[in-house]
Every structure is written in structure tokens, then in C-alpha cells.
């Protein structure tokens, strides 16, 4: 068996008196894609911050690439929510270059990294708009550039924080497919926080569903069923399987 990329054992997170989630156990294998689902405020993004070493667990253990999670771990890549930054005025290639050497001191030389930036942009199909300011790109194009930036550090774990938010349906599917293809090819494990389950469902290995301080981990079929989600939400929730995906009904009222 290969070593886990990320593990959580009895992980509990509290903000003051409020328990966000507790007793979380997780073993993430290389190349595995884990979708993290749940209502707003369930602590999905907090889980990412725990893996990034930006939040400390109240109890339990977390490791990334075999070592306790720590701030600035180079084994991790991050795709943030769209529009979460003031990145608009720089070119697509500058954003990618940040992923290569933005953490180093000094001025550096752009020319030395030009070929690598081009190669990364070509990999995600963004070569054509390498020199266009990010603010002039469409949402789907911006997320492609984000994928290239995150891959620049050759991460063994990729964290995606709602990367499909505010994209239209077609681009949601395209970006999800791109992330999956790039990560499968390199055995990069992915933690994919999302509200939009259908675009990623074809690629998901396991689902972590967090709601009301509790979490369930399993295959999509095990977790995304009426019985399991009703139990998590403590209210009747219905999962409807359609031809083009699933619909979760009732969960919104239960939050």
C-alpha cells in the first residue's frame, strides 16, 4: 500500500464554544479525488485551512505528506475561489509565475521562467491568453490559469476551494474535467470543496459530507442517498438520481 498524502485522526475543530466538526478520520491516497460537501458554514473551507496549517485542530492529528500539517507546505497547491483576489491587473503568465517563484526573496528574472510558464499554460489550454490581463478573461479562462498556477509547484495535494462557483454549467464541467485529468496524470490527490456536485461527480472517488458538526465519509453511492443525508441533517432529505446528475432536495430547509 502506498503512503497516504493526507491523514486526519480524531480531528476536531472548535471556535470558542462552537464545535465545527469532531472526530473526523480521513486517509487520502495519491491520485484520489475527494469531494467535500455540506451546507454553508459547515466548516468545509476550515478543513482546507487545517490542511494548510493555517488553523490548529482543537483535538486530533493532521498530517500532510507524512508530516504534521504546517504553514507554507510546498507539497500543497491551492485553487482559491474566483474573484477572491485583486489579481486582475497582472497577466495570466504573471499569476503562473507567482506559483513558481513568488515565495522567494529578491527580484528574480522573468526570462528564466518564461518557458516553464508557457508549458504550464499550454497544459491547461491557456497558452493563447498568456499575455492578457486576468481581469479581461472569462471566469472559465481565469480558472484554467488558476489550475496552471496551482500545478506550478508540482504539488502532491491540490486543495480546491469552490473552484466552480459563479461559472456556467459548461465551464463547470470543463474545469472539473481539467482538474481531474491533470491530477490523475501526476497522482496528485485532490480535496475539492464545492456546492456544485454534478460537474465533479464523474471524477469523485469519495465524498466527505459535513453538516451540523458531524461528517460522513464514503463512496458517492454510500453518502449521497436519502437515508444517509437525512441522518446527517437530522431532517428528511431526499436525493433524486436523474440522468444527468443528482438533486438534493430538502437539505436547504434543514440548514
Partner 1 sequence: MLSRIINFHDYGHLLPVVRNSLIAGAVVALVGGLIGPFVVSRDLPFAVHGISELSFAGASGALLIGSNVVAGAIVGSLIAALLLGLLGERAQQRNSVIGVVMPFGLGLGVLFLGLYRGRAANKFGLLTGQIVAVDTPRMRWLIVVCAVVVVALALMWRPLAFSGVDPDVAAARGVPTRALSILFMLTLGLAVATAVQIVGALLVLALLVTPAAAAMQVTATPAAVTALSVGFAVLATIGGILLATGSSLPISPYVTTISFTIFLVCRACGAQRTKRGWVLSR
Determine if 189 is a binding residue for partner 1 (CB under 8 A).
Answer: no
Specify burial of residue 172 (Cβ count, 10 A radius: 0-12, 13-18, 19+). Answer: buried
* Binding of partner 1 by 113 (CB under 8 A): no
Q: 16 vs 72, which CB is nearer to partner 1?
A: 72
Assess 83 for contact with partner 1 (CB under 8 A).
no
List 29, 75, 90, 225, residue binding partner 1 (CB under 8 A): 90
Among the listed ranges 94-102, 183-191, 204-212, 230-238, the one in contact with partner 1 (CB under 8 A) is 94-102
79 in Cβ contact with 150 (< 8 Å): yes
What's 211's DSSP letter? Answer: E
For partner 1, the binding residues in 7-66 under the rule CB under 8 A are: 52, 54
Q: In whole angstroms, how close is the CB of 188 to partner 1 at the nearest point?
A: 15
Q: Is 86 exposed, middle or buried (0-12, 13-18, 19+ CB in 10 A)?
A: exposed
CA quadruple 76, 22, 55, 182: dihedral, nearest 10 = 20
**Angle 9-10-13 from CA coordinates, rounded to 5°:** 115
Taking the complex as a whole, the smallest distance from the CB of residue 127 to partner 1 amounts, in Å, to 8
Half-sphere exposure of 175 (CA within 13 A, CB side): 31
Q: CB 243 → partner 1: shortest distance, Å?
A: 37
Does position 131 bind partner 1 by CB under 8 A? Answer: yes
Determine the 3-state secondary structure of 152 from DSSP: helix
* CA–CA gap between residue 167 and residue 48 (Å, rounded): 21
Verify binding: residue 74, partner 1, rule CB under 8 A. yes
Least CB distance to partner 1 at residue 129 (A): 7
Should residue 166 be labelled a site residue for partner 1 when binding is judged by CB under 8 A? no
| Residue of 104, 115, 242, 244 interacting with partner 1 (CB under 8 A) | 104
Q: Give the HSE-up count for residue 19: Cα atoms under 13 Å, Cβ half-sphere.
A: 13
Query: Using the rule CB under 8 A, is 80 a contact of partner 1?
Result: yes
Site residues (CB under 8 A) for partner 1?
A: 52, 54, 71-74, 76, 78, 80, 84-87, 89-91, 94-95, 98-99, 101-108, 110, 128-133, 136, 149-150, 153, 159
Amino acid at each position: 500500500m502506498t503512503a497516504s498524502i493526507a491523514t486526519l485522526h480524531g480531528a476536531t475543530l472548535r471556535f470558542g464554544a462552537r464545535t465545527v466538526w469532531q472526530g473526523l478520520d480521513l486517509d487520502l491516497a495519491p491520485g484520489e479525488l475527494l469531494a467535500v460537501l455540506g451546507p454553508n458554514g459547515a466548516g468545509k473551507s476550515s478543513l482546507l485551512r487545517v490542511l494548510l496549517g493555517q488553523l490548529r485542530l482543537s483535538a486530533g492529528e493532521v498530517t500532510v505528506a507524512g508530516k504534521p500539517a504546517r504553514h507554507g507546505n510546498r507539497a500543497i497547491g491551492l485553487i482559491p475561489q474566483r474573484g477572491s483576489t485583486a489579481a486582475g491587473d497582472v497577466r495570466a503568465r504573471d499569476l503562473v509565475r507567482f506559483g513558481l517563484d513568488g515565495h522567494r526573496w529578491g527580484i528574480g528574472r522573468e526570462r528564466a521562467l518564461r518557458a516553464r510558464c508557457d508549458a504550464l499554460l499550454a497544459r491547461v489550454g491557456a497558452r493563447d491568453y498568456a499575455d492578457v490581463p486576468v481581469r479581461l478573461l472569462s471566469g472559465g479562462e481565469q480558472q484554467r490559469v488558476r489550475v496552471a498556477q496551482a500545478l506550478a509547484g508540482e504539488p502532491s495535494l491540490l486543495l480546491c476551494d469552490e473552484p466552480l462557483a459563479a461559472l456556467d454549467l459548461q465551464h463547470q464541467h470543463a474545469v472539473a474535467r481539467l482538474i481531474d485529468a491533470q491530477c490523475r496524470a501526476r497522482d496528485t490527490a485532490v480535496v475539492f470543496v464545492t456546492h456544485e456536485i454534478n460537474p465533479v461527480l464523474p471524477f469523485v472517488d469519495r465524498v466527505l459530507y459535513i453538516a451540523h458538526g458531524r461528517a460522513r465519509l464514503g463512496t458517492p453511492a454510500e453518502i449521497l442517498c436519502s437515508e444517509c443525508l437525512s441522518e446527517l441533517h437530522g431532517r428528511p432529505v431526499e436525493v433524486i438520481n436523474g440522468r444527468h446528475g443528482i438533486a438534493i432536495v430538502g437539505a436547504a430547509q434543514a440548514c
